[in-house]
């Protein structure tokens, strides 16, 4: 980045450090922090959408829909999260390629499953081999995002379902007495009232979601954990910027980042809780 960085071997002290922390790999390291924030910004509403649909389905009067909703909310409890995080991207990737293979290559008669191999025609591969690197990155990130949304959506659904059940029935009965339909009671009474009961659980899930972002590293995404491991490892004299094992320093930076992120999140959640508790017949509401 700087002109004096042309010959790293001749640099010392501050000049060496200024060149070291502005290498292309370090720029990718800095961008990876934005990747984590972008994942959180998208995964939270996606999980909320999955959870809301699951909670509604679990309360449905139709048995088939209720079974699907309850099954979705319950299965996460019995299967380790890491299994879903590794299974969903692979399953979705193969499902997309299978459909594309059937549509784009109907003339191919060979079996797609060939022993342990999953073989589709070149036109069905996702992304295409001719695609740019950023396309591969976006595709991998999208699969990881769906995995986060699906897994945390089930936990969110359990929280929302419990919050709906915590709303006093007298309020729902009052709405019915005023002639509200079931949909009106749901939209105007149940949903607005449930958030105060759901917020503690949703707050915990948000913190867990933050701590789960390093799983991107296991899904093949070049996130902050990947770059901390890559940059912090010992670099011998064959590298331009040789240094001993600095992984402790890099992972220490990650610890500070996550601590600051959770601290700011807690401040925001506390203010939101106070706002939602205002006027509510709860312990927090009475305290205000």
- Asked whether 69 and 55 are in contact (CB, 8 A), the reply is yes
Q: Kindly report, residue by residue over 192-214, the tens digit of the pLDDT.
A: 888 888 988 999 999 999 999 98
Residue 36 has pLDDT above 90, yes or no: yes
pLDDT at 281: 56
**CA dist 19 to 184, 228, 242, 277, Å?**
62, 17, 12, 51
SS (H, E, C) 82-144: HHHHHHHHHHHHHHHHHHHHHHHCCCCCCCCEECCEECCCHHHCCCCCCCCHHHHHHHHHHHH
pLDDT at 241: 81
Residue 126 has pLDDT above 70, yes or no: yes
Q: How confident is the model at residue 85 (pLDDT cuts 50, 70, 90)?
A: confident
Average pLDDT over the chain, rounded to whole? 86
Q: Which of 214, 192, 197, 158 is nearest to 32 (CA)?
A: 214
- Give the span between the Cα atoms of 177 and 185, in whole angstroms: 11
pLDDT at 149: 92
Query: What is the dihedral angle through the alpha carbons of 121, 125, 129, 130, rounded to the nearest 10 degrees?
Result: 100
Q: What is the mean pLDDT of residues 171-187?
A: 86
Pick the CATH number of 3-8+22-206 from 1.10.10.10, 3.30.70.20, 3.30.2010.10, 1.10.3720.10: 1.10.3720.10
Tokens 């998208």, residue located: 42
pLDDT at 276: 74
Residue 7 has pLDDT above 70, yes or no: yes
Residue 288 has pLDDT above 60, yes or no: no
Q: How confident is the model at residue 287 (pLDDT cuts 50, 70, 90)?
A: low
pLDDT at 192: 86
pLDDT at 228: 92
Q: How confident is the model at residue 277 (pLDDT cuts 50, 70, 90)?
A: low
- Give the span between the Cα atoms of 97 and 105, in whole angstroms: 11
Q: What is the mean pLDDT of residues 34-58?
A: 93
Residue 130 has pLDDT above 70, yes or no: yes
Residue 135 has pLDDT above 80, yes or no: yes
Q: Kindly report, residue by residue over 59-81, the tens digit of the pLDDT.
A: 888 889 999 999 988 877 777 87
pLDDT at 89: 87
Residue 116 has pLDDT above 90, yes or no: no
| Residue predicted with more confidence, 169 or 252 | 252
- Asked whether 6 and 168 are in contact (CB, 8 A), the reply is no
């Amino acid at each position: 980045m700087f002109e004096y960085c042309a010959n790293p071997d001749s640099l010392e002290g501050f000049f060496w450090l200024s060149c070291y922390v502005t290498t292309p790999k370090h720029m990718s390291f800095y961008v990876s922090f934005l990747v984590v924030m972008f994942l959180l910004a998208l995964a939270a509403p996606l999980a909320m959408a999955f959870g809301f649909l699951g909670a509604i389905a679990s309360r449905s009067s139709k048995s088939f829909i209720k079974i699907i909703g309850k099954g979705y909310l319950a299965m996460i409890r019995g299967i380790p999260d890491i299994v879903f995080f590794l299974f969903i991207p692979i399953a979705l990737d193969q499902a997309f390629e299978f459909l594309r293979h059937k549509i784009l290559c109907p003339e191919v008669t060979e079996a797609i499953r060939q022993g342990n191999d999953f073989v589709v025609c070149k036109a069905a591969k996702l992304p295409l081999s001719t695609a740019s690197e950023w396309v591969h990155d976006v595709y991998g990130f999208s699969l990881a995002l769906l995995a986060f949304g699906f897994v945390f959506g089930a936990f969110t659904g359990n929280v929302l379902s419990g919050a709906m059940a915590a709303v006093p029935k007298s309020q729902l009965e009052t709405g019915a007495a005023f002639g509200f339909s079931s949909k009106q009671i749901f939209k105007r009474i149940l949903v607005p009232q449930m958030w105060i009961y759901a917020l503690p659980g949703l707050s915990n899930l948000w913190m867990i979601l933050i701590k789960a972002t390093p799983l991107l590293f296991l899904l093949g995404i070049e996130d902050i954990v990947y770059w901390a491991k890559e940059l912090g490892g010992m670099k011998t004299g064959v590298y331009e910027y040789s240094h001993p094992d600095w992984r402790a320093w890099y992972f220490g930076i990650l610890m500070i980042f996550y601590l600051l992120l959770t601290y700011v999140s807690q401040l925001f959640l506390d203010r939101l809780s106070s706002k939602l508790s205002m006027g509510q017949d709860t312990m927090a509401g009475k305290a205000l």
